[in-house]
Chains A and B, each alone.
Chain A
Amino acid sequence: MRLLIKNGHIIDPKNGVDEVRDLLIADGVILSAGKNLADEDAQVLDASGKIVAPGLIDLHVHFREPGYEYKEDIETGSKAAAKGGVTTVVCMPNTKPVIDNGALVQYVMNRGREIGLTNVLTCGCISKGQQSGELSEIGELKAAGAVGISDDGRPVLSPSLMKKALEYAQMFDMPILSHSEDLDLVDGGSMNEGYMSTYLGLRGIPKSAESVAVSRDVLLAEETGGRLHVCHVSTKNAIEAIRNAKKRGAKITAETAPHYFSLTDRACDGFNTNAKMNPPLRDDEDVQAVITALADGTIDAIATDHAPHHFDEKELEFDQALNGIVGLETSLGVGVTYLVKTGKLTLSQLIEKMSVNPASILGIDKGTLGEGKPADIVIFDCENPYKVCVHEFESKGKNSPYDGFELYGKVKTTILGGKIVYQED
């Protein structure tokens, strides 16, 4: 099967392309890019006025399978990814049971392949049962196909275990995707500590709950030479710790999530549980720091932390409601609207954060529209705004703070391995 994408504005940072071209795809790979391409056998997609970019790669999603299929499963998660222009996802292993062995890694990846709407990759756990006790069998996880290890949802409690994980995982070239959080400092808090927590009478989570833990982990990475990827960075001081450790040569990468550069804790007003997540939304100063860090490269990637929950788990007292929001179907829109339209990043830089850099963090041959590369592609519209409506989401989770927001960057077509997996009707 052949596909010809005509007259799209191609953004392919890896190959330095930022201009209107045609793109010809055959047998699942990119055959050629150029002007005025023609092919009689190919299905033609007119992309005039649209952006054509490598498919997005989301380093941090929760597809909830096995165990919590009432929140999301690999099929609905994959549909949400396709609709959001995301062609590769990395699942977090805090399922039930947790993914701490090779069989479960293979189960998740096989389900993803059967469904065939996005490349489903997964992390395995750092510690057995995510209990922060013993290391899981990291070699076996790697052999089964896991792309990294993470105890996401929970921090690795013991610094010495984190140190050992960084040492041990190096042998298998496995990055550690770290949910760095000091639970002692969290101390039962349910939102960022500051004026808004005081105003709402909710227990605050100090910024130090993140910055102290990130500081610990970057120092351990520096000392061991291990590969640390810091997940969902939200605070200025955590960013500063990462920036300094990177300068000293530590092998560190970092991600933030769309909500940390587009929303503040003011979104929690009215006890809005769709603005409750962990780490919590911070304040203006942190939002500015996140944007600066994206622009200067301290933060390498944007990942959603897509965390679907059932309505009943969110429609509760604020302190009882579960943490997390869905993100796959709004991440590109939030990125375009809050980073590109505001002039903070170029479109090319945004695609680096959402595709090129995630690919290199994972060490996979994606995030490029180079000839011969897998044809994972997103086509989207940057010119016309659209209104977010959670009821149109493919995800089972409707827990989004962006419902009703006007965004730019609507996905028109998503192509996975040369096959159209999503087409706006």
Chain B
Amino acid sequence: MKREVLEGSKKDNCLSGKSIITLFFENSTRTRLSFELASKYLGATAANIAASGSSVAKGETLIDTAKTIDQMAADVIIIRHSSSGAPHLISNYTNASIVNAGDGMNEHPTQALLDFMTMQEKKGGFQGLRVAIVGDVKHSRVARSNVYGLKKLGADVVLGGPATLMPADIEQLGVKAYTDIDRAIEGADVVMGLRIQLERQKKGLFPSVREYHKYFGINEERLKLAAPDAIVMHPGPVNRGVELSAAVIDGDRSVIGEQVTNGVCVRMAVLNLLAGK
């Protein structure tokens, strides 16, 4: 599928006649676009429901919204929601396949799959691979999905970030967690930054962007601690100069652009598995 995407021969049509709905309760340009393109490249009929501008804003419950879409014979519903477990909830009420495009702080499975695809391409496998995930682990569904998947694939996962942004008892998931991010990055084959939401500062979880970048930002100096051929990843969108320095984002170790391409490919594969003939 990646070949199809890259070579521009994008009309596979294996999902022609299938309808795929993206139901997004949170703003997201890139994930939604990625799913919509994946649907269209496979020939499916894709429609989008944004939470504002629909009955969702009029007090309809999530279950009722999902049931309504289901009644219209959707084959796949792709949902993003700010409440953890929302996809799980609607899956009990629909015949359509449900794809989780990010739920609260819980999971973002297709992001993790595209990350794995990128790691596989760049590193050739997962056994003994050391992956450092750095930043706001507490609020990150990307981090959780990566941890679950990478552990299953046999990688070593280390986490780094400020104590106020590290979830309780995270090491029980079989990972190491450091508040000194130099220790997290040390010897890493993959260094993944996580997006910091600037609103967290107002809640007192870190004092300033300046201090955040100083102690927890990934810059070229810190990157020297990683393996010599380490790659740098980020789920995007990046706050330049906060999670990653500009030089790191644009540097030759960064695979952030390829992650985006792989995102479309992975989502095509997921949709094909769920709805393909």
Contacts and interface: CB of A to CB of B under 8 A. Distances in A.
B104 interface: yes
Q: What size tier do the contact residues of chain A reach? A: 20 to 34
A38 B170 CA distance: 66
A203 B141 CA distance: 12
Contact of B144 (A201, A271, A312, A319): A201
Contact of A194 (B81, B105, B168): B168
Contacts of B85: 200-202, 271, 317-318
Chain B CB within 10 Å, residue with most, of A200, A201, A203, A204: A201
Interface in B71-120: 81, 83-86, 88-89, 103-107
A317 B83 contact: yes
Nearest to A204: B168
A194 B169 contact: yes
B225 interface: no
B96 to A, nearest CB: 18
Contacts of B89: 271, 315-317
Contacts of B103: 201
A16 interface: no
B23 to A, nearest CB: 13
B62 interface: yes
Contact of B105 (A193, A203, A271): A203
A304 interface: no
B169 A198 contact: yes
B167 interface: yes
A206 to B, nearest CB: 8
B62 A202 contact: no
Interface in A174-203: 193-195, 197-203
Interface string B240-270: 0000000000000000000000000000000
B197 interface: no
Contact of B84 (A193, A194, A271): A271
Given A201-B107, A202-B104, A270-B88, A317 B169 contact: no
Interface string B1-19: 0000000000000000000
A28 to B, nearest CB: 49
Nearest to B90: A317
B84 A200 contact: yes
Nearest to B84: A201
Interface string A263-285: 00000001100000000000000
Contacts of A195: 168-169, 172
Contacts of B63: 315-316
B141 A201 contact: yes
B61 interface: yes
A320 B63 CA distance: 13
B24 to A, nearest CB: 15
A323 to B, nearest CB: 15
B104 A193 contact: no
A271 B100 CA distance: 15
Nearest to B81: A317
A202 B84 contact: yes
B57 interface: no
Interface in A190-236: 193-195, 197-204
B110 to A, nearest CB: 16
A271 B170 CA distance: 19
A197 B83 contact: no
Given A194-B168, A270-B88, A271-B89, A199 B83 contact: no
B274 interface: no
A116 to B, nearest CB: 38
Nearest to A271: B85
A193 B167 CA distance: 9
B198 interface: no
18 contacts: A194-B169, A195-B169, A195-B172, A198-B168, A200-B84, A201-B141, A202-B85, A202-B106, A204-B168, A270-B88, A271-B88, A315-B89, A316-B62, A316-B89, A317-B84, A317-B85, A318-B83, A319-B83
Interface of A: 193-195, 197-204, 270-271, 312, 315-320
Given A193-B168, A194-B169, A317-B84, 18 more contacts: A195-B172, A198-B170, A198-B172, A198-B173, A201-B105, A201-B106, A202-B105, A204-B167, A270-B88, A271-B85, A271-B88, A315-B63, A316-B63, A316-B89, A317-B85, A317-B89, A318-B83, A318-B84
Top 6 nearest A-B pairs (CB, nearest first) are: A201-B106, A317-B83, A271-B85, A201-B105, A195-B169, A198-B167
